[in-house]
């Protein structure tokens, strides 16, 4: 749910006023109790915090839940329940057999190898061009690097990693998308031209 400017400022002020070390410790204790695992607690707490700080995910709304920690605890509880359901489904013999069938290795044909190599080369070419065009936009380049590592592809994760606001991250992502769309369109035109020349 999007907030207007005044609501966003009020929310930012409420977040800034929190005693973060105390809140974090409280969340870790709760996560340890719920999961029965101290080792897993930091991961589930960080995931829940990212969701609570992302206005497009499960944002904290003080008018509905005055305590930020309690809101995050609810998210932690939901994440834990979802993880338990997933684990239970994975242990189901019917699902195990279905996964085994789908993941059985089949040797790739030369044509499939060639197509895969072509896709990889195209992806590398587009990534290099993307970095070149974003050379004057440090934040956009950071977004590209964070998204490429496979662990920071959500706006909230990127905001935490860069220290920037969600709004700055969202605007940078839009700039990246515009360049990506342009590059893909140009690459498609080049590919079609080459195919026509080869066919003539």
**pLDDT tens sequence across 148-186:** 776 567 887 788 888 888 889 999 999 999 988 888 888
Q: What's the pLDDT at 191?
A: 57
120 — pLDDT class (breaks 50, 70, 90): confident
Given a contact cutoff of 8 angstroms between Cβ atoms, the answer to whether 97 and 91 are in contact is no
Angstrom CA distances, 180 to 67, 129, 133, 174, 185, stand at 40, 9, 10, 10, 9
Domain boundaries, the chain: 8-93, 108-199
Q: Average pLDDT in the 54-68 region?
A: 89
156 or 60: whose pLDDT is higher?
60
Q: Average pLDDT in the 133-160 region?
A: 83
Q: What's the pLDDT at 159?
A: 83
Return the C-alpha torsion angle 90, 93, 96, 97, nearest 10. Answer: -160
Q: Output the six-digit token pair for 183.
A: 């590059």
Q: Is 108 left (phi over 0), alpha (psi -120 to 50) or beta?
A: beta
Given a contact cutoff of 8 angstroms between Cβ atoms, the answer to whether 53 and 156 are in contact is yes
Q: End-to-end distance of the chain based on CA atoms, in angstroms?
A: 54
CA dist., res. 168 & res. 20, Å (int): 22
Given a contact cutoff of 8 angstroms between Cβ atoms, the answer to whether 143 and 169 are in contact is yes
Q: What's the pLDDT at 6?
A: 46
Closest CA to 62 of 4, 8, 5: 8
pTM (2 decimals)? Answer: 0.45
Q: Output the six-digit token pair for 144.
A: 């590209």
Residue 93 has pLDDT above 70, yes or no: no
């Amino acid at each position: 749910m999007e907030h207007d400017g005044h609501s966003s400022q009020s929310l930012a002020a409420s977040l800034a006023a929190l005693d973060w070390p105390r809140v974090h410790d409280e969340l870790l204790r709760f996560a340890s109790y719920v999961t029965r695992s101290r080792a897993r607690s930091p991961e589930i707490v960080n995931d829940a915090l990212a969701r609570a700080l992302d206005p497009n995910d499960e944002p904290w709304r003080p008018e509905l839940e005055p305590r930020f920690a309690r809101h995050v605890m609810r998210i932690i509880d939901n994440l834990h329940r979802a993880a338990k359901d997933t684990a239970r489904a994975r242990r189901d013999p019917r699902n195990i057999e279905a996964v085994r069938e789908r993941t059985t290795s089949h040797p790739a044909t030369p044509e499939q190898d060639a197509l895969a190599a072509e896709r990889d080369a195209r992806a590398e070419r587009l990534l290099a061009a993307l970095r070149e065009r974003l050379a004057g936009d440090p934040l956009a380049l950071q977004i590209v690097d964070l998204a490429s590592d496979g662990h920071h592809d959500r706006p909230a994760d990127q905001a935490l990693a860069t220290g920037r606001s969600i709004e700055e991250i969202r605007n940078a992502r839009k700039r990246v998308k515009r360049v990506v769309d342009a590059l893909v369109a140009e690459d498609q035109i080049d590919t079609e031209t080459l195919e026509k020349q080869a066919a003539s």
